[in-house]
Amino acid sequence: MPTPWEYTLHIPHDPRAVGICRRALRDILTSHHLPTLVEPAELLASELLGNAVRHTEGPAALKLRRSGPTLRLGAWDTDPTPPAAKPPDGGSEAGRGLHLVHAYADDWGWFRVNGDGGKYVWCELGAP
């Protein structure tokens, strides 16, 4: 059984931070010998963090945790409002993020953080 590990990347309210986190995520997973998780984890992290940056005014964070065979990705933001999956309209890419998370992740959910401390949206991928 692999040793559990956890990383947290705190980011400013800046759309460029999503790409920076994707690159850091790729480096983390590669260094932990999980190359098969890089592509799905990058997609999921991009959607979670993209929502955090797009729909809130404050900072955000990406958390990665490996525990046993599971990789958990989570995004914290300052808005306690529940995430809502909007039906994508035609060719629009707006509102499709949570649909992708639901389709690609093995499990996902969210919770409020300490009342008005924002929310944490998470998803899990089974590691090989």
**Residue 89, pLDDT score:** 58
- Torsions phi, psi of 68, nearest 5? 65, -135
**pLDDT tens, position by position, for the chain (128 residues)?**
778 999 999 999 999 999 999 999 999 999 999 999 999 999 999 999 999 999 899 899 999 999 999 999 999 999 999 887 666 555 555 556 788 898 999 999 999 998 778 999 999 999 66
119-126/107-112 β-pairing = antiparallel
| Per-residue model confidence as pLDDT tens digits over 62-90 | 999 999 999 999 999 999 998 876 665 55
Strand, helix or coil at 72? strand
* Residue 28: burial class (beta carbons within 10 Å; 0-12, 13-18, 19+): middle
**Residue 1, pLDDT score:** 72
**HSE-CB of 1 using CA atoms within 13 angstroms:** 7
pTM of the prediction? 0.88
The CB density around residue 25, as the number of other CB atoms within 10 Å, is 23
**Residue 25, pLDDT score:** 97
In the chain, where does DSSP find H-type helix? 16-31, 38-55, 97-104
User: What CATH superfamily classification does 5-126 receive?
Assistant: Histidine kinase-like ATPase, C-terminal domain (3.30.565.10)
For the record, the structure tokens of 73 come out as: 């990705």
Structural domain boundaries of the chain? 5-126
**Residue 7, pLDDT score:** 98
**Residue 97, pLDDT score:** 76
